[in-house]
């Protein structure tokens, strides 16, 4: 067996950081996203909405009133932009709204 050459520290750190970022992408925490939505994106209307699925870069939001559904349809882009800003990447690419 040959002796292994020492590896540069910056290369090791870069590999570790990439692995951590990969794991973060895989584990998009549903609870954290919903809390963020309630606090930052949709404050004051949390009693009118119910969060459904969060998968494959799509979030589903149920609304109890047609007027709120109408309002949120106009705010889809804002919801996605704000969520992605807080999450650091484009993890949410679609907002699906439905009447409860």
Inside any domain, residue 54: yes
* Residue 16 resides in a domain: no
Is the pLDDT at 25 greater than 70, yes or no? no
Q: What is the pLDDT of residues 60-94, one digit of tens each?
A: 889 999 998 998 899 899 888 888 887 777 778 89
- Tell me whether residue 23 is exposed, middle or buried, using C-beta atoms within 10 angstroms of its C-beta: 0 to 12, 13 to 18, 19 or more: exposed
Specify the CATH number for the domain of residue 83. Answer: 3.30.300.130
The SS3 call for residue 50 is: strand
What Å distances lie between residue 49 and 2, 34, 72, 79, CA to CA? 63, 11, 10, 14
In degrees and rounded to multiples of 5, residue 86 shows phi and psi of -75, -35
For the stretch 26-58, pLDDT in tens is 556 677 777 777 787 777 777 888 888 878 788
């Amino acid at each position: 067996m040959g002796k292994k050459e020492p590896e540069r520290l910056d290369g090791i750190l870069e590999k570790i950081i990439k692995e951590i970022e990969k794991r973060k992408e895989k584990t998009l925490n549903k609870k954290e996203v919903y809390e963020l939505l309630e606090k930052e994106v949709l404050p004051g209307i949390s009693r009118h909405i119910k969060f459904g699925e969060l998968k494959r870069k799509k979030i589903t939001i149920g609304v109890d009133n047609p007027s709120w559904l109408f309002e949120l349809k106009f705010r889809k882009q804002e919801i996605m932009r704000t969520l992605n800003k807080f999450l650091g990447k484009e993890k949410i690419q679609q907002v699906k709204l439905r009447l409860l």
